[in-house]
Structure 1
Amino acid sequence: MIQFYRLEKNNAVYRDVAAFEADTKPNKEIIAILENNCYDCHSNKTDYPWYAEVAPISFWLNGHVKDGNKHFNVSQWATYKDKKKDHKLEELIEEVEEGEMPLKPYTLIHGNITKEQKEALISWAKKARGNYHLE
């Protein structure tokens, strides 16, 4: 019975990351990391895998996407004030450094990012925070 209940998906017409990328200036390597490991849960458009249609996995996955968007949504970047932008990048750095992002269940299915990719992501985010130094 639960299989017939369809959840509302994170399904914008397109993934709007333009303001975020224009502001933070990721290079092609960082964009690839973000696209492959972050944007599905942290933007307004998720590319759902086939198993997202199978309950109860669909409920579990939907919860992760909603939670990810609640904490950090790059599609909403233009609406953030500089203080919030700085804080979100600070959180990104902490989560990646502590191994909390990407989530373990995500990495089990999609693979983890390498040590070098983590270092590149952290370095880029630290540099991007320079745009928002608040006195």
Structure 2
Amino acid sequence: MKKWSKKQKILAILLLAFLAAQAIRPAKNNGSPSGPKDISTVVAVPDSVMTALKKSCYDCHSNHSDYPWWDQIAPVSWWITNHINEGKRKLNFTEFGSYPAKKQAKKLDETAELVEKGEMPLSSYLWMHADAKLSEAQKKMIVDWARAAEKTIQP
């Protein structure tokens, strides 16, 4: 019987570790994308804005994400889950109504600023979700909406 070389042993161990990692499945963000505390219950959100938000923002900033096929593979699944959880901690459109008024206004201001600067959606997200890229007209529409909505929030 032929002995395995050191390189073959290392590759076998790495393969086994990779296969074992597949058993560690993070919880999915599969809640409802809208609900009683959704942003649309707090401020008026035109259909065109809501469509753009759902296409470009809701995967990371709501209680529901549409997962790509590659999210089934560890360690990518761990990274995506962490990214979604971080995005929801910063802004969750599904839970927007639970924020104090001051925080709601601040989040709308931040939304306008980040979209206007092209910092949202993240380039790392757009790399694999080209359809989420906002046109200049969509960016302006979201920025104008967020700024107008911010003014309607009563502290």
TM, length-normalised to structure 2: 0.80
Aligned residue in 1 for 2:110: 91
Q: Write out the 4+ residue segments of structure 1 that deviate beyond 3 Å after TM superposition.
A: none
Aligned residue in 2 for 1:126: 147
- How many residues align? The count is 133
Q: Is the 8 A contact 2:22 2:73 kept in 1?
A: yes
Q: Is the 8 A contact 1:41 1:65 kept in 2?
A: yes
Q: Could you give the per-residue CA deviations for residues 72-109 of structure 1, whole angstroms, max 9, x where no partner exists? A: 01111121111010001011111112211101111112
Higher relative contact order (CA 8 A, sep 6+): 1
Is the radius of gyration larger for structure 1 or structure 2? 2
> Is 1:15–2:36 an aligned residue pair?
no
> Is 1:55–2:74 an aligned residue pair?
yes
Match of 1:101 among 120, 132, 139: 120
CA distance in 2, matches of 1:21, 1:49: 26
> Is 1:64–2:87 an aligned residue pair?
no
Give identity over the alignment, percent.
34
CA distance in 2, matches of 1:90, 1:126: 6
Unaligned runs of 5+ in 2: 1-19
Unaligned runs of 5+ in 1: none
**Which AA in structure 1 matches 2:122?**
L
CA distance in 1, matches of 2:143, 2:154: 17
Q: Is the 8 A contact 1:15 1:44 kept in 2?
A: yes
TM, length-normalised to structure 1: 0.91
